[in-house]
Structure 1
Amino acid sequence: MVMLHFTVDADKCTRCGECARDCLWGVIEMDGLPVVRPENEARCIECQHCLAVCKPGALSVFGKDPADSLPLKGMFPDPARMETLLMGRRSTRRYRGEGVDPALIRHLLEVVSHAPTAVNRRQTTLTVVDDPAMMDRLRAEVTAEALKLLHEDRFPAGWERMADYVRGCEDGTDVLFRNAPHLLVASAPKDALSPMADCHIALSYFELLANSHGLGTVWNGIAKAMFTAIVPQFAARLGIPDDHQIVCVMSFGLPAVKYHRTVQRPGGTIRRAEF
C-alpha cells in the first residue's frame, strides 16, 4: 500500500468539494476541508483525480506538488489537428537505417505511462528494443529460427499464414520486422483485470504520439505470432516475464516514406442505438 500523504493547503482551498465529488471510491470526504480518514485509505486506487481536479492547486497526494503538473488550459490540440492525426497516420513498412534518439524513445514511453488501465492497476509492461544493433541481431536470429522450422517441416500446425510470411524471408527480405530499427512489446500479467484492453490502449497512445513526432509505426501481428507461437523462446530472451501474456507488438522508427494526404474511406457501420 502506497502512503497517501494527503495534505491540503487551507489558505488555497476554496472548500468547493470537487475533490470529494470526483473521488470514485469515496476516499475523500468534506469536513470543512477535504479529509481522508485512515479507514478509507485502502480504497484509494492512486488515480490522482483529486490532484488534477483541484483548480487552485491546494491539494497534494503521494507527496506530489501540484505545481509540478502540466496545466491543461489551452494546451489540448484543436479538433481539426487531432482529426488529421487520427486519419493521417499510416502503417509504416519502410524505414530509414538510423535509430531514433534514445532520449526521445524514453520520453515517449514516459508519456505513454499515463494511458488508462482497468481500475488504474497499471500492470502493462512495455519492453522496448531501443538499440538498432540489438534489433538487427533479433531480426536475424528470429528469421533464421523460423526458416529452420519451415525447412524441417516443424512449423506449428494451424499457422500456415505465418509460414507464408516466413517463406517470404528466404530471399533476404525482412517480412517479419520490415527492417524497422526498433520494436515495442506490450504485455501484462495473465491474471490482470483487462490485459488485452490495457495493452492495446497503451500502444494506441504510443502510435499517435510517435506519429506526432514524425516517427513511423506499424502494428506487428507477425512479430506477435513469432514470440507467442512460432519461436516463443525469444520472448524470454527479450525479458518478457514468465507470467505475462504478449498482447501486441509494434515496430517503429524513422520512416523512409512520406505520405501527403489522408485517404478517403466510406463510413464504417454506424447505427443509432434503440432502447
Structure 2
Amino acid sequence: GIFARGRLDDDALEELEELLILADMGAATAAELTQALAKEKFGKEVSEEEIRATLADEIAAILEPVAQTFPISATAKPHVVLVAGVNGTGKTTTVGKLASQFRADGLTVMLAAADTFRAAAVEQLKIWGERTGCPVVARDGEGGDPAGLAYDALARARDEGVDVLLIDTAGRLQNKANLMAELQKIDRVVKKLDAEAPHTRLLVLDATTGQNAHSQVEIFREAVDIDSLIVTKLDGTAKGGVLVALARRFGLPVYALGVGEAVEDLRPFNAREFARALMNLET
C-alpha cells in the first residue's frame, strides 16, 4: 500500500496526488491537498489513518463554505426556483423531492412543467404532484412555449399565494444554443411579474459525470447565472471527489446531495461527514 513505508516522502506524495486525481478531485485540488499535507507531515512517520484524517480536515475546510441549507425568502410570494440541468441528471426527480421536503416544512408548493418537449418529464412531474399534493401547471400534449408556461405558472402561484414555485426545465444539450435561449427567455419572462425572480437558479449535476460537471456549470452559468447546485447519484461507487473540485473552483452553494431514489435520499450536505466518508473514515 501507499503508506506502508510509514514516512511521508516525495514518492508517497506523488502517489497520493495521483490517487486524489483518480477520485475526480482534479489536478489543481489534488495538488493543493497534497501540498497542505506535506506542510504538516513531510518527512514524518505517519500512519495511513493520520493521512486520511488530515486530508479529511483539509477537504472539509474546502466544503464548509458551500454546504448550505436551501434559503426560502420570507418576503417573496412565491419564491421562484428555476431548476436547470442536463437530461439524465435526475432533475425532475430532484424537483419532486424538493417539493416533498418543502411541503413537510409546512410550505405550499406549485410545480411548473416547462420541459414541454419531453412528454415523459411532464408525466413524471404530474406523478410527483399527486404524490406530494402540489398542483402542477402543464400543457396538454407535447410542445408549447416553455417561457409562456412558466409565466402562467407564476401568475397562478401569485394569485393563490403559494410559497414556492419550482420550474422544471429542459436539458437537451445536443442543441445548446436553442436550449440556452429557452432558459434565458424563461428567466426574462418571469421578471415581468416579479423583478426579483427567479430567486434561486439551481443546477442539478450528476456526480458520476466527473470532470464533465465543470463544463456543465460553465455552460449553464453563462446562460442563466446559476447560483446554486444539487449534486445527485452520490450513492454506491460514485466518486464524490468532483464536489471538492467544484467547491474549490466555483464556490457555489450546494443545497443538497442525492444519494438514492427515495424522497429522504435527497439529503442536507454536511461538509465534515462528507469529507470523512470520502476518505473512508468513520463519520
Task: Flag the structure with higher helix content.
Answer: 2
> Which structure's relative contact order is higher, taking Cα pairs within 8 Å and 6+ residues apart?
2
Same fold (TM over 0.5): no
Q: TM-score under structure 1 normalisation?
A: 0.24
Q: TM-score under structure 2 normalisation?
A: 0.23
